Amino acid sequence: MTSSHTTTSGVSRLPVTTSAVTLRSAAVRFGSRTLWEGLDLDIEPGEFVAVLGPNGSGKTTLVRVLLGLLPLSAGEVRVGGRAPRRGSPNIGYVPQQKALDPDLPLRGRDLVGLGLDGHRLGLGVRGMRARRERVDRALEAVGGSAYANSPVGRLSGGEQQRLRVAQALVGDPDVLLCDEPLLSLDLSHQRTVTRLIDERRRTADTAVLFVTHEINPVLPLVDRVLYLVDGRFRIGPPEEVMTSDVLSELYRTRVDVVKVRGRLVVVGAEELDEHHEESA
Amino acid sequence: MSEVLSRLFTFSGTGELLALPFVQNALIACAVLGLVAGALTPLIISRGMAFAVHGTAELAFTGGAAALLVGIGVEIGAVVGAVVAGLVFGLLGLRQRERDSVIGVVLAFGLGLGVLLLALYSGRASNKFGLLTGSIVSVDSTNLVVLAIVAVLVIAALTLLYRPLLFASTDPDVALARGVPVRFLSLVFAVLIGLTTALAVPIVGAVLVLAVMIAPGASAARVTANPLLATVLAVLFAELALVGGTVMSLAPGLPVSGYVAGIAFLCYVGCRVVARLRSRRVAAA
């Protein structure tokens, strides 16, 4: 399926692949500090990749690169076969839950609708009906129809995150980028949000890149893990990456990964995480 | 007491006054201003920019005072002052805490400078007072032309940029991720606020710009979360305050700003009451 091709400028380009996301020798540097380099990653359609690592290890930076908000310092990146640019319609984005002003004059359906055409110019009077239908369908898919007309700021964190998923999926993206979408949600809402994302990738073959500091809520869904620590990283299935040996090597200290009642507990990395938080 | 009340609320002679050309000019000016200000207010509320609008108005006053002293049109000075202020506040971005303190500092400086400039001005005193409290006699046909041009500009920009502006104002993080130029839009919006504020200053006065630039949107936000409906309601409230306030001020011959601010305030209280009653009914159901 892959073949090399050369552009008119004569520069050799990435091979044409069917991957949803492709990174080749990718690096990001801020001044003299290298966040990560030599990153090669292909995410296939329908694949679920979790990105883990301590604060400041460049997880969110990776999302920003894929969104086209930050250029790579070196290497190449493709999303849906093309260089990402701001506002690419084939990318959906789910942010972390954040408290919204309860008096914000915006309804649930408006939030979802902005995900569809909020970046467009004009009032969008034409195509109003088609837009409404798409928004309604997206709302229904996440079970959010009941509060579609409520002010978003007055909804619970879980309800807001469902709307966030609808907002990310309403444009029918090939790639879904999630940046800590479960943060500050209780367990049942975490399950709902992960279930919605999982459903989507199964039914529509949407590739998912899921940044999280906690793998357990998504562990059953994860195909591969990208674990970033201080410029070092490992990519592979969770059973290969989430081991005491691999994490000890990444953190350069003794780290134990223990399985307790189906949950992975990482012991020894927390202190380092805190250290990172201070320096980040 | 009743004497004061009957002086405040009289309509004897209102009919004849309405036939005068300068009164009609004022009413047209108010109607145009109501449309523009009303359309902007829900976005101002969404962005939490009430204080920035106030600061912009004070700088419009400074600009107007400087223009008076130099001998050019007051509205030109007001537009320059307000747009410069808007740009400064817009450049500060969306970080509320930092923005508020900078606005406070700039506002105080601008107001002080404006008072000084007015003191140096040796012309008619009513010109001075008009900048602070507004006066409808100051609206003439040249003003109307300027007003119309600026209004068309603001409405055109708002129509073109409405969706990205709404996105950036209500959901800036995701808007940024979706490629909306959030920072650039905050500058554009600041300029729109500056232009509209500059139009409002000669009519309602620098001190009371908030009555038309904040109150209508704040009122609408109490009763609806639908951005489109909020905009329609805000325009309605702004028109009611401006046109209604002007008509009410005619017969008593008192400053228009008190009436405008009064109606805007009543709209806000009314909307709060409606919202309260509604939430009770929901709680009871």
B126 pLDDT band, cuts 50/70/90, is low
Least trusted range by pLDDT, from A39-48, B3-12, B128-137, B147-156: B128-137
- By the CB < 8 Å criterion, does B282 face chain A? no
A110 pLDDT band, cuts 50/70/90, is very high
A273 pLDDT band, cuts 50/70/90, is low
d(CA A228, CA A55): 10
- By the CB < 8 Å criterion, does B224 face chain A? yes
* Residue with token string 């005619």: B250
pLDDT tens readout for residues B60-95: 989 988 988 888 877 788 889 998 988 888 777 556
Residues from chain B that touch A105, judged by Cβ atoms under 8 A, are 42, 45-46, 170, 217, 220-221, 224-227, 230
* Shortest Cα–Cα distance, B221 to chain A (Å): 5
Higher pLDDT, A80 or A225: A225
Residues from chain A that touch B179, judged by Cβ atoms under 8 A, are 67-69, 85-88, 119
Residue pairs spanning A and B at CB distance below 8 A: 104
The conformational region for residue B39 under phi > 0 = left, psi -120 to 50 = alpha, else beta, is: alpha
Would you state the pLDDT for residue A5? 46
* Shortest Cα–Cα distance, B157 to chain A (Å): 9
* Contact in structure between B36 and B154 (CB atoms under 8 Å): yes
Residue A73 has pLDDT above 90, yes or no: yes
| Pairing assessment for the beta strands A21-30 and A74-79 based on DSSP bridges | antiparallel
Of B176, B180, B230, the CB nearest to A105: B230
Would you state the pLDDT for residue A16? 57
Nearest CA to B47 among B88, B93, B86, B85?
B93
Nearest CA to A67 among B175, B183, B177?
B177
Nearest CA to A50 among A230, A239, A265, A202?
A239
Strand spans (E) along chain A: 21-30, 33-43, 48-52, 74-79, 91-94, 175-179, 207-211, 224-229, 232-236, 256-260, 263-267
Q: What is the mean pLDDT of residues B228-253?
A: 93
The Cβ of residue B33 has, within 10 Å, a number of other Cβ atoms equal to 26
Of B174, B176, B224, the CB nearest to A105: B224
Nearest CA to B195 among B78, B47, B91?
B78
Three-state DSSP state, B202: helix
Q: What is the mean pLDDT of residues A14-26?
A: 81
* Shortest Cα–Cα distance, A94 to chain B (Å): 8
Residue A6 has pLDDT above 70, yes or no: no
- Check A123 against B162: CB less than 8 A apart: yes
The Cβ of residue A188 has, within 10 Å, a number of other Cβ atoms equal to 9
Best of B160, B166, B171, B188 to substitute, by most chain A Cβ atoms within 10 angstroms, is: B171
Question: Complex ipTM, two decimals?
Answer: 0.85
Write down the mean pLDDT value for chain B: 86
Three-state DSSP state, A184: coil
Of B45, B167, B226, the CB nearest to A114: B167
B129 pLDDT band, cuts 50/70/90, is low
